[in-house]
Structure 1
Amino acid sequence: MQYSITLFFIFFSLSVFSQITQPLRYEIEIDDFYDPYFIVSAEEKGIFIFKEMPKESTFKENVWEIIRLDTLLQEVDRQEIIIDKKFNFKGYDYQKGRFVMLFQEGRDYAEDLLFISFMADEFHIQTYIYDNLVPINLTEFEMKNDAVVFGGNVNTRAALMMYNFTAERGVVLPGFYNDRSSLLQIVTKSDDEWVRIITSERRYDKSYGITVRAYSTQGELMFTQNIDGEENISLTDGRIVDSSKGGDLLAGTYSTKRRRETSRGLYIADLSDPDEKEINFYNYADLDNFFNYMREKRKDRIKKRIARKKIKGKKLRFSYRLYVQDIVKQKDQNILIGEGYYPTYTNSSSGFMPYSTDAFMTRNSAQVFDGYKYTHAVLMGFNDEGKLLWDNSFEINDLKSFQLEKHIHLAFTEDQIIMLYLFKQQLKVKVIKGQEIVEGKFSEDLKLLYDDDEVKANNDELEGLENWYDNTFFAYGVNRVKNLRDNNIELNRKVFFINKIVVK
């Protein structure tokens, strides 16, 4: 196995104030084009990449390779760990210098759990076994100080657990396991000592509201807050601001009372006073730039319809699917990031009907889910009291994925916001300043290792873009690369790559 790294000083200008550079690229050769490394940011301590090594594994044990790179994408450590074959890899997380891998006994439902933990500065592995008495279909895994929180569903009901490494003890978190709740968010990035669990819960009047529960890292329930909309309004989604305050602002989407699939707008709730929760609602029609992703003629038609309704004292109601992916604190503003999407389907023949009485056999035709198509990203800036300051949008209609996941990333300069996402080996970029568009959407290719490299194939499903630290990001994926000119370079190579991307 070989790996390479190249330093190159290539940048493209965003405006007179900002620029993006791609100073480094790391490559490691792989055998299987569809079996890449997992990758996780260790912030200023670098990056971990890791994968199971089938050729080194045995009938009883799996071998995993773990590589740590520094911020110059230089390899500083490479280790192997051996895992009992009965455990299947399920997840990972990194926080404050500690890296944890999660394995579960059982394929679909977790029985016993195995945690592999070590610090970024020293590869001293510690293992912990949690004897799980409640088989659970795990969907979430997060770290908080000396504990991990993991959750999912048991018989379609939400369930959450916590394991504390210091006490070497696991607990089932109280307050869940009912048939009226679904997990929205596990909040661990705050300066206080609590973990917050955000759930959507069906109330007894058949509306939906948001419940926030806070726990210590020992699993003790500290408080519960219920947040509900106005009459005939359901709160369908919610995220807490990632800030040092510990989470006094909640934002998400709302809909009519009994509808959850689509939403009518966004809400912002101030949770600082437990006895008096102020909620501000913003209909999509009231946002200045929500429809900017549309073509000009269509956008103008909708704006005119909204204006006519307002003259008559009425509101035009729009229904959208909006995935609220994050809320970030930036100076004196809180910025909500949402992505509009819709599900797509294909028609698929499922074979001949076995009991047809027709003279000719009839073929069944069924709709098969074919992924989520994204339309645009929505940004909203609001103050600490939840009052809307501005809104903007970013067209992303070339993206498609089979899971709802984060695509848009933000970088901040003195007075600008740079929005980025990755699609088919190209960075898509837009620069805004509040409601003002500083620079419209444009594209830039990911840089390759050598000048004469040419990408012959790219696995679109395995590429990604992630925040690293500050205004630094990394793009990653799998390429099949051809080079016809450079000496001492293989003619064809299959590589897992990482590109360092810096916004200044």
Structure 2
Amino acid sequence: MKNLILFFVFCTYCICAWGQIKVVQRTELEINKKVGENYKVLNLEENGMLVFVESEEYLKGGRKEIILSKFDTTLQQQWMRAISIDYSSNVGLHYQDGDYLYLLINKEDKEYDILKIHIHGGLIIPIKYERIVKMEISHFAVIDNVLLFGGSVDGRPVVIHHDYINGKPKVLPAINTLKATINRLDICKNDKSIFVLLTPTTNKKKESFYYNIFDIEGKLLNNTAVPYEKDYILYTFQPYFISQNEWYLFGMYSLLAKDKAQGIYVTHIVNNAQEFIKFYDFIYFKNFFNYLAKRKDKVLSKIKGQREEGNIYKHDYNFVIRELKILDDKILFLADSYNPIYRDGINQGFNVNPMFLSAMNMSYRSLININDFMRSPSASRSPVGYKYRHGIVCAFDKTGRLLWDNSLEYKDLESHFQVTPQLQVNMGRDSLTLLNFQDGKIFYKRTDKSTTVEEIKEIEIPLKEEANKLISDRDREAVMSWYGDYFILYGMQQLKAGSSGNSRKVFYLSKLAYFSPKLEEREKKAD
């Protein structure tokens, strides 16, 4: 009996000591009322974090400042810079190419400038873009000295190629002849080729998508129309490049004529020929339906019964898709399911601003469901928010074979204004951490790849070791995967400023990790 008690005490100690998310480091930027508090964070992964704020202070000559602060992985500030832009301008899309980060500055009348920032030294080089067509830029990429801008002009897709050192801007060929929308603008860094993937706006039952490949000089290497899949509609696209001659494409597919996910597809393209396409219905995922809790077995039994009768159960999920994560030899596909919320409580289809999703590096294709609009005269109104069901993560090997899946269920999780990614995932050699942040608390699971874990742990992240300094005023807090085993938590907090009773408002960054003895030892060495 005594040994049993000691065993339980030891287990409890281990859980308390190692079985939780902890704050590793924290840093704060005090809010200057003249500058404002509209801080944004750019994840540089192993290179740290870039924080910037567009000042609200009006300067002489109709100017304002962008203040940039670079932090390393220990949250030590490496440099801070300020650059002035027109007060009516704002920071738009961004792209990292090697040691440089490029910020697209949106000006009036669809004019643009670019800031080239050396992420280690803080050198900032303004780049002037000489406009040759008037377009709103929705896609942005950089390779060496070549800037690539994607958008549309008079309803036609356009990509501008601009070698800002050796040449003037030019329009890439064979794109503006298509009746299509640019869905992806990507770089294959292995051979420095340019990929443009487009989805048709007419004759959707003829082609699933188009893709054009160019060399770094802008020379067209090939343009291909991929035939329509008779039984499946492909509607999101996430590429994994090996070379310009071999690549994989991952995404959601539907059985309905609208963006409602039935499962995930993987296709392999070699020398412009589709080697294979695989379709993974959600019914074959081990953990997809965990969010249903006690209803799971009943729903699965119903789906199985329909399949035995020769019918396919049609799922009806909205998903916000993330960029693929490449970890070791695995390809991770992440997505969050959600429903739009309307004032009358009815959930219906809608359009998401593609500029917003492109800025967040997410893939999106906008399709209008005419039947929904005809059914309800008020269906064209905007949602007042979004309610999230669960986040999913699927691992594939580099042949497109599904290895395992897992999920994190959400409880009363909602967002307003825009649908935003929620699930954050870090994967170690033998473990998987799934995490999201809600109402000042971290909700997470720690598991082994596809192992089902029913219990979702909940922890309130303290302010260092002095949680009593935190006043209830919290704002715009969020968490995201950072690098390795780490997450970053950031946002606004109102803090006590000592015994005087005054308070101060800060923008903070907290480095988080799921603690294990090995990680504890590593952090001690780092200090």
- State whether TM-score is above 0.5: yes
Distance 2:511 2:344 in 1: 41
Task: Indicate the SS of the match to 1:463.
Answer: strand
Structure 1 runs (4+) deviating above 6 angstroms are: 12-18, 242-247
Distance 1:234 1:72 in 2: 45
Q: State whether residues 241 and 248 of structure 2, in contact with CA within 8 Å, keep that contact through their aligned partners in structure 1.
A: no
Asked if 1:272 corresponds to 2:286, the answer is no
Q: State whether residues 422 and 428 of structure 1, in contact with CA within 8 Å, keep that contact through their aligned partners in structure 2.
A: yes
Task: Indicate the SS of the match to 2:56.
Answer: coil
Aligned length: 468
Q: State whether residues 407 and 421 of structure 1, in contact with CA within 8 Å, keep that contact through their aligned partners in structure 2.
A: yes
Q: Give the deviation of 1:241 after TM superposition.
A: 2.7
Q: Normalising by the residue count of structure 2, what TM-score does the alignment of the two structures yield?
A: 0.79
Q: CA RMSD in A?
A: 3.3
Distance 1:300 1:55 in 2: 58
Task: Indicate the SS of the match to 1:402.
Answer: coil
Q: Give the deviation of 1:157 after TM superposition.
A: 4.1
Of the three residues 481, 484, 493, the one matched with 1:479 is 493
2:94 corresponding residue in structure 1:
92
Q: Give the deviation of 1:80 after TM superposition.
A: 1.9
Moved more, 162-171 or 61-70: 162-171
Q: Give the deviation of 1:304 after TM superposition.
A: 1.0
Q: 1:134 to 1:126 in 2, by over 3 A?
A: same
Q: Give the deviation of 1:269 after TM superposition.
A: 0.6
Of the three residues 278, 285, 298, the one matched with 1:301 is 298
Q: State whether residues 242 and 328 of structure 1, in contact with CA within 8 Å, keep that contact through their aligned partners in structure 2.
A: no
What per-residue deviation string (whole Å, max 9, x for no partner) do you get for residues 225-251 of structure 1?
A: 443453243211111137799972211
Letter in 2 for 1:391: D
Task: Indicate the SS of the match to 1:211.
Answer: strand
Q: State whether residues 151 and 161 of structure 1, in contact with CA within 8 Å, keep that contact through their aligned partners in structure 2.
A: yes
Structure with the larger strand share:
1
Of the three residues 433, 440, 444, the one matched with 1:418 is 433
Asked if 1:333 corresponds to 2:292, the answer is no
Superposition pairs of residues 432-443 of structure 1, within 5 angstroms: 432-438=447-453, 440-443=455-458
1:318 corresponding residue in structure 2:
315
Superposition pairs of residues 22-171 of structure 1, within 5 angstroms: 22-32=23-33, 35-55=37-57, 57-85=59-87, 87-106=89-108, 110-111=110-111, 113-167=112-166, 169-171=168-170
Task: Indicate the SS of the match to 2:296.
Answer: helix
Q: State whether residues 58 and 87 of structure 2, in contact with CA within 8 Å, keep that contact through their aligned partners in structure 1.
A: no
Asked if 1:495 corresponds to 2:506, the answer is yes
Distance 1:44 1:152 in 2: 31
Q: Give the deviation of 1:204 after TM superposition.
A: 3.1
Task: Indicate the SS of the match to 1:158.
Answer: strand
Q: Give the deviation of 1:289 after TM superposition.
A: 2.5
Distance 2:162 2:481 in 1: 27
What per-residue deviation string (whole Å, max 9, x for no partner) do you get for residues 149-207 of structure 1?
A: 33233345433333334425333333334674233333337433123233322563635
Letter in 2 for 1:50: F
Superposition pairs of residues 337-416 of structure 1, within 5 angstroms: 337-346=334-343, 367-397=381-411, 398-416=413-431
Structure with the larger helix share:
2
Q: Normalising by the residue count of structure 1, what TM-score does the alignment of the two structures yield?
A: 0.82
1:453 corresponding residue in structure 2:
469
Distance 2:207 2:458 in 1: 41
Q: 1:277 to 1:17 in 2, by over 3 A?
A: farther
Letter in 2 for 1:454: L
What per-residue deviation string (whole Å, max 9, x for no partner) do you get for residues 299-346 of structure 1?
A: 122111122123323322222222331322333432211221222212
Task: Indicate the SS of the match to 2:452.
Answer: strand
Task: Indicate the SS of the match to 2:342.
Answer: strand
Q: State whether residues 394 and 405 of structure 2, in contact with CA within 8 Å, keep that contact through their aligned partners in structure 1.
A: yes
Q: State whether residues 194 and 214 of structure 1, in contact with CA within 8 Å, keep that contact through their aligned partners in structure 2.
A: yes
Task: Indicate the SS of the match to 2:198.
Answer: strand
Runs of at least 5 residues in structure 1 that lack an aligned partner in the other structure = 1-11, 349-363
* % identical aligned pairs: 22
2:365 corresponding residue in structure 1:
none
Distance 1:138 1:122 in 2: 29
Q: State whether residues 238 and 250 of structure 2, in contact with CA within 8 Å, keep that contact through their aligned partners in structure 1.
A: yes
Runs of at least 5 residues in structure 2 that lack an aligned partner in the other structure = 1-12, 346-376, 520-527
